[in-house]
Amino acid sequence: MDVYGKIAKPFWDDRPVAIVSGGPSLVGFDFERLRGAHVLAIKSAITSMPWADACFGMGDFNGWRDKLDGVQSRVYWLVEEPERPAAKNFTFLKRLAGQNVSNDPSAIYSGGTSGFGAFQVAMHKKAKRIVLFGFDYEGVNADGKWLIWAEHFRVYVPAIAQAGISVVNACPQSAIGCFQKCTLDDGVAMLHKH
């Protein structure tokens, strides 16, 4: 049985899209301020926004299964090997190695981080305006790869230009340098401009 699904309707081209990661710039942030936009929560960010349109993650799904079981939102999860079937609101996507932009709504390039993969979900949902929240991509991790992972986002620049998508990173200190940056407050304001 094929457990892989694909990203499909409803599309998110009617309102701005907030992609929310778990960076330290969001400590103390009132996530209610994002209501009214489409919201894609990355992994544990869904606990702050159980009302989000969708959640995205990759990696050990079984380690997250219990945490996501009560989530009502659509959950997109990137896996290399098919997992045992989950709840009806779960969609498993094929995990492609490397950093590129997938044109296939059933397969996503991982790019090293869930934030990189989540960006493709928003593109497949036909987002026209994207504001990134919590995409700090700085600090020290065991592999020292945050700066490398931040550079992976450059592959999106020609793809978003071709698709007519505007992207703003609401984290001024973010290591991701290929998108326009703004303050957190300005990012929230952009979500509510129509």
Domain contains 33: yes
Burial label, 101 (beta-carbon count in 10 A; 0-12, 13-18, 19+)? middle
The confidence score (pLDDT) of residue 125 equals: 98
The mean per-residue pLDDT over the stretch 7-36 comes to 96
Tell me the residue range of the domain where 111 lies: 17-191
How distant is the alpha carbon of residue 193 from its chain centre? 21
Task: Place 1 in a pLDDT band, splitting at 50, 70 and 90.
Answer: very low
Domain contains 7: no
The mean per-residue pLDDT over the stretch 52-66 comes to 88
Cis status of the peptide bond prior to 158, with omega within 30 of 0:
no
Least confident of 3-7, 36-40, 121-125, 169-173: 3-7
CB 138 within 8 A of CB 146: yes
The confidence score (pLDDT) of residue 62 equals: 79
Domain contains 123: yes
Domain contains 1: no
Least confident of 4-18, 47-61, 68-82, 179-193: 68-82
Domain contains 89: yes
How distant is the alpha carbon of residue 118 from its chain centre? 3
Domain contains 129: yes
Domain contains 8: no
CB 18 within 8 A of CB 129: no
Domain contains 12: no
Domain count, the chain: 1
Is pLDDT at 133 greater than 70 in this prediction?
A: yes
